[in-house]
Structure 1
Amino acid sequence: MDWDDWNAALFDLDGVLTPTTDLHRRAWGEMFTAFGERHGLAEPYTEDDYYAHVDGKPRFDGVRAFLASRGVRLAEGGVDDGPEAQTVHGLGNAKQELFNDLLTSGGMDPYPGTLDLLDDLAARGVARAVVSSSRNATAVLAAAGLSDRFAFVVDGNVAAERGLPGKPDPATFLAAATQLDIPVARCVVLEDALAGVAAGRAGGFGLVIGVDRGAGADALRGAGADITVSDLTQLLEDRR
């Protein structure tokens, strides 16, 4: 991996830079398990559902995808629905409340290797941005001490404000490349989610790196990753 060949690195956040995926998995699991018990779903939520229906997608899209997998139809509701509301937005907000509690109580440290890679890219003059479906990106970056490491963040809030579709559509990655004023062919996408990898491939980016935090290297390559790694340190030239 010779980073001198590239001008920009577009990082997903959860599962690439920080282990927030663990918190998201727990929050989704608690929310959907409670929902399933309340409604008597014959097929309960499992970890496989996270990767199949939720991982990398905007929050409410994840709710819709899981419900569709179980043949459940709920009213959409509205973004201000309380976590007790049995609507798509209510379930999404219940998950968000659980995630916030976990983040507040446990804090957040970046993955080992994150700071080393970001230092290396900064020294090389490679531009860096975060492209995340999460609406929590700013809070997570602050909790992990990474806020000053990126030129900007395109997150779920920015996508909503600009009317950008979420991953696997490439719109948010394309918006980041445009804001950096760097051609997509000179940008590297780093993603751990199948939806995010598919977005990088659909956007025509020069290199799509799948970071295997549980989705599986074969699945990441199948979604469009050019290469896969299990840790960001593998992307350092001296492999330290």
Structure 2
Amino acid sequence: MNLRGVVFDFNGVLLWDTHLHEQAWQLFSERLRGRAFTHEEMDRHVHGRNNRHTLTYLSGHELTPTELNSLIEQKEHTYHELAIAAGAEYCFSPGAVALLEQLQQRQIPFTIATASPKLNVDFYYQQLDLARWFDPAKLVFDDGSRPGKPDPALFLAAAAQINVPFTECLLIEDSLSGLEAARRGGAGYIVALGPKEKHASLSSVVGVHQVIAQLDELDVAALFG
């Protein structure tokens, strides 16, 4: 391996807020179509996907920019309310700060590639002191200009922001669509993150090199020399 940089997915990796997004999406699904998402729908149309994809799927038709923006704001404000209500539990995932400190000490460049819209990115910076670790100018989010995962465009753009070829990046993801995007993009080393009960299925995903339960399980010295 010749790894020189790190690209993080955000939700479900650095921030374990998947349950909050699921709650927000379930409330929104019931409001829009009168029923909640099934587990299969969550995996295919929510986890790792951008809002355009999920809201188009829920609506059953192409949305105008005005419709899309309105629905995004409604859904994300629901998420924000749930996050604020979580209080101190709304924080970086276990092992995240320790890993970020190691990367900084070793001067290994890193950034985030997230399917979240700017509305949420601004919320993360406000609530999590994200600027301590991540330069906003180098963070890549869903601004509507790129296709969503499993297309690798988001990850390739993030690698370009830290001036490291994606083929020399460690990529950490938790969603199946994100892992497929990493494989398609040719990530140098793909790490899947998830609870122990999902490790067998995550290990079987094509392209995945390692599966972990939390971020401090990564051996930075071994990966980066």
Above 0.5 in TM-score? yes
Partner of 1:203: 185
Q: Which has the higher contact order (CA 8 A, sep 6+)?
A: 2
Q: 2:6 aligns with which of 6, 9, 14?
A: 9
Structure 2 unaligned regions, length at least 5: none
Distance 2:129 2:171 in 1: 22
Taking structure 1 as reference, are residues 208 and 215 closer, same or farther at Cα in structure 2, changes over 3 Å only?
A: farther
Question: Following the alignment from structure 2 to structure 1, what is the Cα–Cα distance between the partners of residues 200 and 49?
Answer: 20
Structure 1 gaps, min length 5 = 82-87
> Displacement, 1:32?
0.8
Aligned counterpart, 1:156: 142
Mapping of 1:171-210 within 5 angstroms? Answer: 171-210=153-192
Alignment pair present for 1:123 and 2:105: yes
Q: Distance in 2 between matches of 1:147 and 1:103?
A: 19
* 1:36 to 2:33 alignment: yes
| Aligned counterpart, 1:229 | 212
Shift of 1:191: 0.5
Please, which of 90, 102, 105 is the counterpart of residue 82 of structure 2?
102
Hey, what does 1:27 align to over in structure 2? 24
Post-superposition Cα deviations, 1:145-169, rounded to whole Å, max 9, x if no partner, equal: 2322124210113xx2xx2211111
Q: Is the 8 A contact 2:196 2:213 kept in 1?
A: no
What TM-score comes out, normalization by structure 1 length? 0.79
- Quote how far apart the aligned CAs of 1:45 are: 2.1
Q: CA deviation at 1:59?
A: 0.7
Q: Is the 8 A contact 2:56 2:63 kept in 1?
A: no
C-alpha separation between the residues in 1 aligned to 2:126 and 2:71? 26
State the 1:104 CA deviation.
3.2
* Shift in alpha-carbon separation, 1:98–1:125, aligned structure 2, 3 A: same
Change (3 A) 1:29 1:49: same
**2:41 aligned residue:** 49
Q: Tell me how far 1:214 sits from its aligned partner.
A: 8.8
Q: How many pairs align?
A: 214
Alpha-carbon distance, 1:93 to partner? 3.7
Q: Percent identity?
A: 27
* CA distance in 1 between partners of 2:125 and 2:192 (Å): 21
What is aligned with 1:76? 63
Cα distance, 1:50–1:26 mapped onto 2, change above 3 Å = same
* Aligned equivalent of 1:132, options 93, 106, 114: 114
Residues 1:117 and 1:24: Cα distance change in structure 2 (over 3 Å): same
Could you tell me which residue of structure 2 aligns to residue 84 of structure 1?
none
TM-score (structure 2 length as normaliser): 0.84
1:166 alignment partner in structure 2: 148
Q: Which amino acid aligns with 1:113?
A: G
SS of equivalent to 2:78: helix
Taking a change above 3 Å as real, the CA distance of residues 90 and 213 of structure 1, as seen in their structure-2 partners, is farther
* Whole-Å separation in 1 of the counterparts to 2:106 and 2:115: 27
